[in-house]
Amino acid sequence: MNYFVQIRGEGEPVLFLHGFTGSSRTWDGIEKLIPCRAVMPDLTGHGRTRAVSDNIESEAASLKEMMMKAGFQFFHVVGYSMGGRLALALALLYPDFVRSLVLESASPGLKTEKEREARRASDELLAQQIEQKGVTAFVDFWENIPMFQTQKLLPKFNRDNIREERLNQTKKGLAASLRLMGTGVQPSYWNKISELTMPVLLLTGTLDQKFTDIAYEMKKVIPFCEWIQFDGAGHAIHVEQREKFGTIVKTFLLKTKGGIKNGF
């Protein structure tokens, strides 16, 4: 795949993976909060990346290849929501390349085929809604789902930026992302996360009960794992509590520089 990607800052490479309806713009200025070589692609079907991967694991393979071609033999990964699921796939498939893993409001997928089947059906309806009604109508719906209610407390400038980023997507791209990268088509990694060998940081907001519960279960089985909760935050912590998010991720990356051998 050919990605649109922004690379900024200096230091150890960190691959930042955005969520559904996001883009590399999600992480604008992140290198000022987290001193690093920030690598920020527009993921499949989003932003200025027009190509679409077959599934989440082929997307992970494409990202690993992109990092290798850019000269980054080892790197850290920070993933939010959909990007967190992708980051987890990348770490499980290519553990020798991933030095540490930060998962913000992310999950290892759905545990049962029955759950995945129901989610595939739900995502298909959503994809059809996008194709039939367009991106603007979808964004009007999406920004009002319960998961994003806490974002309504943000200053208008921030809310406008988030909405503009969502509106800059395409019908084709978003629909393809739901069908090929959605939770319903992702393999369940619940039985594999105990195999993670790198330091892992889980981040959740206390007002995001669903992902708080998921993180609680993940923390019990991931070997080298920290879990930090953000009081008063919802799903998108990097937006709602940006400075604190940057400080915590920076501290984690400094502590895990070089991986477990440095005394995690």
pLDDT tens profile 80-104: 999 999 999 999 999 999 999 999 9
Distance CA 89, CA 95 (A): 10
Could you tell me the residue range of the domain that residue 218 belongs to? 5-110+187-262
Residue at 139 is within a domain: no
pLDDT value at residue 262? 36
**Is residue 261 predicted with pLDDT exceeding 80?**
no
Residue at 145 is within a domain: no
* Sign of the CA dihedral with 142 first, then 144, 150, and 155 last: positive
Length of the chain: 264
Residue at 218 is within a domain: yes
Distance CA 138, CA 14 (A): 31
Beta bridge partners of 76: 14
**Is residue 115 predicted with pLDDT exceeding 80?**
yes
- CATH, residue 91: 3.40.50.1820
158 C-beta neighbours (distance < 10 Å), count: 14
Residue at 118 is within a domain: no
pTM value is: 0.95
Residue at 66 is within a domain: yes
Residue 228: phi, psi to the nearest 5? -120, 130
Residue 37, token pair as written in the block: 């070589």
Residue at 175 is within a domain: no
Residue 21, token pair as written in the block: 């309806």
Helix%, strand%, coil% for the chain, nearest 5: 50, 15, 35
Tens of pLDDT along 200-243? 999 999 999 999 999 999 999 999 999 999 999 999 999 999 99
Residue at 251 is within a domain: yes
What percentage of the chain carries pLDDT values higher than 70? 97
Distance CA 195, CA 192 (A): 6
pLDDT value at residue 137? 97
Residue at 167 is within a domain: no
Distance CA 186, CA 89 (A): 9
In the chain, how many domains are there?
A: 1
